[in-house]
Chains A and B, each alone.
Chain A
Amino acid sequence: MTFLHVLMASLVVSMFLCLYRVMAGPTPADRTVSVDILGVLMVGFCAVLTAMTGRDVYMIVGVSWSLLSFVATLALAKHLEGRSFDD
């Protein structure tokens, strides 16, 4: 039971809390924000996996995820504001 295992377990617990908020969130804005936080937690999970296994594949997954995770939030925020795609 190393430090990394504790880190990974706490990330998984946070992910389940986020998933609960996605299911229960009263407004669509809550769900959007929690999906965004889920992406951030996933990047952290990839970083912990890189430290545990030493393979750089997970780090590349984390980098691409962090570069692209804002697109879904962006589109949903635009939709929630009631604007069209080309506005």
Chain B
Amino acid sequence: MSSVILRTATRLLLPLLLVFSAFILLRGHNEPGGGFIGGLLSAGALSAYALAWGPAEARRVLRVDPRTLLGAGLLCVCAAAFAGIAAGREVLTGLWAPFEVPGLGKVSTVLLFDLGVHLGVVGATLSILFNLGED
């Protein structure tokens, strides 16, 4: 049984770190940052939560299986790769949407690729961590 201070602190830090990882994911186009680092930040936040509350509770907070996140990430990466072929260009060509999404700016297949990397890193790290912690 962990201490009350640790449990309260990790519960407050978890949403903060998830927002921060989304910020790092979105700024990582031309500047340092991106999907991989954002994914590692999310995984670090959830591993701190799992250290304080136990892996079973962390799985419940995550709501989906980490392997599902991994598969969704690979699907996003594949969709971003084959969007170029669907538009009649080469594989992995970056395509930008002609409209602007409020808060995000111009969305692109590059952002979809980064989102896939983010989900893949979170899924892989957390499935390793939870499986190591639960036996």
Contact = CB atoms under 8 A, between A and B. Distances in A.
A75 interface: yes
A63 B13 CA distance: 12
A65 B134 CA distance: 27
A63 B134 contact: no
B41 A68 contact: yes
Interface residues of B, number: 24
A60 B20 CA distance: 9
Chain B binding surface, main DSSP class: helix
Contacts of A60: 24, 32-33
Contacts of A68: 17, 41, 44-45, 48
B44 A63 contact: no
Contacts of A85: 50-51, 54-55, 132-134
A67 B16 contact: yes
B31 interface: yes
Contact of B51 (A57, A64, A75): A75
Interface of B: 1, 6, 13, 16-17, 20, 24, 31-33, 41, 44-45, 47-48, 50-52, 54-56, 132-134
Closest 8 CB pairs of A and B: A85-B133, A86-B54, A68-B44, A71-B48, A74-B51, A57-B32, A86-B55, A86-B133
